[in-house]
Amino acid sequence: MSFSSLGLSAPILTAVTDKGYQTPSPIQAQAIPAVLSGKDVMAAAQTGTGKTAGFTLPLLELLSQGPRARNKQVRALVLTPTRELAAQVAESVTTYGKHLPLRSAVVFGGVGIGPQISRLQRGVDILVATPGRLLDLYQQQALSFSQLEILVLDEADRMLDMGFIHDIKKILAILPPKRQNLMFSATFSDEIRTLAKGLVHNPVEVSVTPRNSTANTVAQLICPVDKSKKSAALVKLIQQGDWQQVLVFSRTKHGANRLAKALDAKGITAAAIHGNKSQGARTKALANFKSGEIRVLVATDIAARGLDIDQLPQVVNFDLPNVPEDYVHRIGRTGRAGADGKAISLVSDEEAKLLADIERLIGKNLPRTLVEGLEPSHTLPETDLTPKRHGQHKGPRNPKPKSNSQRSSNRSGNGQGSDKAGQPRRGDQAQGNKEGQGRRRTGASTGTSKPTSEGQQAQNQAQNQGKQEHRDGNAPARRRRRRRPSQGAPKPATN
């Protein structure tokens, strides 16, 4: 399978080659022809599988064929849940569209609206936007949708999680009814299907991975450790493994700040990124992390959502997430699009139940290893994976050491545990990982795309303005995906 067999024209194929892609990822191979057919498309594939190019490439192809956008008009609207994602998608549009005469723009909150209004004055073929700012611009009559051909909802599941449903409905109401609709999401949850009912018509459905299976090329490992020793354990792992680029997840903003300080104090450069940080601070921390200036980025779930950090070798869960699905999203930060990665979770005995929920969700017991000198005072119970009625989460049922077959229920485990922290057994990785022994290099990010005018402009703009409190990307109440409809009110956002 090659890009040239998908129906894309030469200017786009050249840009793809320039970017260094050789073969389309599975979701791209399915989504690109579907989008080119002009039908509505619903696509689901886990994080890191290349969904952005999956809609951007055919979008550019379709738009290159029609009449250019007139003043204030938008021909294709791409909605994303966060500013960072908007900037990343816009950068992809610029990269893949660099040989086409199309105009694009990106708009999000937290930065001045004036330059965005001027940019829209002459009309744009593609507008990438976060919902709140888009509505503001519409109210100020900075844009019009009478020429709109295509609507894309990127990371649709995240949009719902972050409480954007009302904004999305308002936006749908102002778009012309006759248009092509594309929905891209990590999963096809029930909520996504409900949203889809009012949005897509006879869609082509494409999906490449079953829900909640964890990325194939990610080696996962659990380090049982006492809560009070987690910082020390992390420092030790980073030093022993000589990790140069680590994304660390913290459950709380406060915890993220504390941990970044503690690492800095140990001579490990670190920055925290979360919803209380200004847009400027977040953009700067991300840029420094990508360039290798800082080794550790400590992030909360919302801040890290959807961030594309090329070939991230190492992810650490300093705390386990409250919602097991978030574990899958978190470790999707590493091992992206075929690169291999490692995900290590520091788990204290208070988190035994969270771990059990995660292991049940992904359908396997994760291998464990102890950090030398920081062994926990309590043993973590093993999770019993045999199906049982919902809600019954009991302690250890199976006192025997787990068998190989149990361990490798999902993949071809080789049955060998890891002997050393930071070196998970290879057998836990995908069979199909043909890279063999080749460890990814861990220096400054390798394949970071060259900043392009548009994306760079957006990032600079974000950097120059330190303002933060705005709807976009800071949805006040994040609606957690509830596991049972009968459960009570959604949890307040911790993030």
CB-wise, 154 or 357, nearer to Mg ion?
A: 154
Q: Which of residues 269-308 bind ligand ADP (CB under 6 A)?
A: 308
The two three-digit tokens of residue 123, written as one number:
């009309």
Instruction: Tell me the backbone φ, ψ of residue 426, rounded to 5 degrees.
Output: -70, -30
**In the bound complex, what is the minimum distance in angstroms from residue 308's beta carbon to ligand ADP?**
4
Number of residues near ligand ADP (by CB under 6 A): 16
CA separation, residue 495 to residues 187, 205, 292 (Å): 22, 33, 26
Angle at 216 between CA 427 and CA 361, to 5 degrees: 100
CB-wise, 51 or 364, nearer to Mg ion?
A: 51
CA 374 – CA 474 distance, rounded (Å): 37
The two three-digit tokens of residue 270, written as one number:
């670190």
Given candidates 18, 226, 264, 310, which one binds ligand ADP under the rule CB under 6 A? 310
Q: What is the residue-wise DSSP string for 115-163?
A: HHHHHHHT-EEEEEE-HHHHHHHHHTT--B-TT--EEEETTHHHHHHTT
Residue 241 identity (one-letter amino acid): G
CB-wise, 3 or 145, nearer to ligand ADP?
A: 3
**In the bound complex, what is the minimum distance in angstroms from residue 343's beta carbon to ligand ADP?**
16
Given candidates 6, 8, 51, 164, which one binds ligand ADP under the rule CB under 6 A? 51
Return all residues near 210 (Cβ < 8 A) that are at least 6 apart.
none
CB-wise, 45 or 352, nearer to Mg ion?
A: 45
Angle at 55 between CA 166 and CA 249, to 5 degrees: 65
CB-wise, 413 or 473, nearer to Mg ion?
A: 473
Tell me which stretch binds ligand ADP (CB under 6 A): 20-28, 66-74, 313-321, 390-398: 20-28
Residue 418 identity (one-letter amino acid): S
CB-wise, 214 or 348, nearer to Mg ion?
A: 214
Q: What number of other Cβ atoms are within 10 A of residue 228's Cβ?
A: 9
Given candidates 31, 42, 44, 53, which one binds ligand ADP under the rule CB under 6 A? 53
Q: Is 368 in the site for ligand ADP (CB under 6 A)?
A: no
Q: Is 336 in the site for ligand ADP (CB under 6 A)?
A: yes
Q: Is 340 in the site for ligand ADP (CB under 6 A)?
A: no
Strand 180-185 to 104-107 pairing:
unpaired
Q: Is 21 in the site for ligand ADP (CB under 6 A)?
A: yes
Q: Is 25 in the site for ligand ADP (CB under 6 A)?
A: yes
From the list 176, 198, 170, 69, the residue with the least C-alpha distance to 125 is 69
Given candidates 11, 48, 341, 422, which one binds ligand ADP under the rule CB under 6 A? 48
25 binds, among ligand ADP, Mg ion, none (CB under 5 to 8 A by kind): ligand ADP
Which residues bind to Mg ion, rule: CB under 5 A? 51
48 binds, among Mg ion, ligand ADP, none (CB under 5 to 8 A by kind): ligand ADP
Return all residues near 474 (Cβ < 8 A) that are at least 6 apart.
109, 110, 275, 468
Q: Is 49 in the site for ligand ADP (CB under 6 A)?
A: yes
Binding site for ligand ADP (CB under 6 A): 21, 24-25, 28, 45, 47-53, 308, 310, 336-337
